[in-house]
Structure 1
Amino acid sequence: MNDLTCFKAYDIRGEIGVNIDEDIVYRIGRAVAQHFCAKSVVIGFDARETSPAFATAASRGARDAGADVMNIGMAGTEEMYWAVSEFGACAGIEVTASHNPINYNGMEIVKSHSRPLDDAGDFQVIKALAGSQEWLSGAAIGREFDRSSDARKAYL
C-alpha cells in the first residue's frame, strides 16, 4: 500500500486495510527513528484489536533504523508522553485512533521531551520518508525492551 492519506493535519489516522496497514505503520516507525537519528523510541498502544500488531510493525521499523525500542504495552497516550520524558527517549509513538470508529487506527508521535512535531520540519519529513522509503543503511538493528511493568508502576 502506497497511499499515505492516513497522514492528517497533526496526526496519523486511517481506515484499516484502506489507507493504513502494518506495512505503512512499519514505514512510519522507521521514518520516525531515522528522522530523529533515534537511539531509543517509546512505543505504546491502545485497546483496539489491530493495535498490538501495528505496535509490533512500528517497533520493527524503528529497530531496522537502529533504534532501541522501549515497549510500554497497552497504555494511554498520556502514558507514552510521560515515558518518553521519563526514559529520555528520542521519540515516542502511540498506536491509537482516539475517538475514530473501530475500523480505524493510527499513530500519535512526539519527539524528545514529549514535544509535539512541527509540521514542516518533522511531520512532512516523516511522511516523505515513509513514502520514498529512502532508508539509510549501515545501522545495527536495534533491540526491544519490555518496559510495560516498570513504566506502569512508575507512572501510577
Structure 2
Amino acid sequence: MKAFHAYDIRGIYNKDFNKDDAYKVGYFLPKLLNTKKILVGRDVRVSSPEIFDFLCKGINDAGADVYNLGLSTTPMVYFITAKHHFDASVMITASHNAKQYNGMKISRTNALPVGYDSGLKDLEEMMKSDSISVNKNRGKIIEYNQKEEYLNFLKTYVPDISNLKVAIDCSNGMAALLI
C-alpha cells in the first residue's frame, strides 16, 4: 500500500488506500498496540465518515472497543489520548493536504506517534500476511464527547478577552468546531 509514510498513513483515498485498508488497519491495530480500547477522531473531509466506519468495524471485529470522539482536531485527539490514558488513538485526517487526500495518524500511550520505524512497518506487514478472524466477542462503539474538557484546557492558556469584539474566519479548518 502506497499510503504508509514515515509518520502516518496518508494518500489519495480510493487510489493509495481504500476502505479495505482502513478495515485492516483497524483490525490489526489492537494487536500491534496491545489494547482493547482505541480513541478515534476525524476531520470533515468527505471521505472521513467512510474511513471511520471501516476502521471501526476492523477494531470491533478484533474484539476492541472504539471511543468515538467524533469531529475533532488532531491536538484534541492527542490531548484526550494522554489525559484519559488511552493506549492507542487514530485521527482520521490528511492535515493540510488537498481534499482528495485522507489518512490516519496513529498514537500510542501518552499520545506518542506511531511512525514507520516504531510500528507502522509492523502494521503494514500484518496487513499483508496475517489472517483475519472475527472475534466472537466483538467490540463496540462508545460515544465519547470530550469537547468541553478540551475547551476548558485551552482556556487555561488564554487571558480573559471577553471585552473584545473578535471576528474569526476558520475557513475549512477543524478549529471552527471549537469556536
Most deviating of 137-146 and 56-65: 137-146
1:45, distance to aligned residue in structure 2 (A): 0.3
1:137, distance to aligned residue in structure 2 (A): 6.2
TM (normalized to structure 1)? 0.89
1: distance between equivalents of 2:49 and 2:135? 28
Code of the residue aligned with 1:81 in structure 2: it is: Y
Larger radius of gyration: 2
Q: CA separation of 1:138/1:21 partners in 2, compared to 1, >3 Å: closer, same or farther?
A: closer
**Secondary structure of 1:89's aligned partner:** coil
- Which blocks of at least 5 consecutive residues in structure 1 are unaligned? none
- RMSD of aligned C-alpha atoms? 1.6
Spell out, residue by residue over 1:48-67, the C-alpha distance to the aligned partner (whole angstroms, 9 max, x if none).
01101211211111111111
Q: How many residues align?
A: 151
1:45 is the counterpart of 2:79 = no
Kept in 1, the 8 Å contact 2:38–2:87? The answer is yes
% same residue: 28
- Listed as ranges, the matches of 1:66-77 within 5 Å are 66-77=63-74
2: distance between equivalents of 1:138 and 1:11? 27
Kept in 2, the 8 Å contact 1:38–1:91? The answer is yes
1:139, distance to aligned residue in structure 2 (A): 6.0
Question: What's the counterpart of residue 18 of structure 2?
Answer: 21
**Secondary structure of 1:127's aligned partner:** helix
1:108 is the counterpart of 2:105 = yes
Kept in 1, the 8 Å contact 2:68–2:144? The answer is yes
Code of the residue aligned with 2:85 in structure 1: it is: G
Kept in 2, the 8 Å contact 1:44–1:71? The answer is yes
TM (normalized to structure 2)? 0.78
1:118, distance to aligned residue in structure 2 (A): 4.6
Kept in 2, the 8 Å contact 1:39–1:89? The answer is no
- Listed as ranges, the matches of 1:1-156 within 5 Å are 4-135=1-132, 138=135, 140-148=137-145, 151-156=146-151
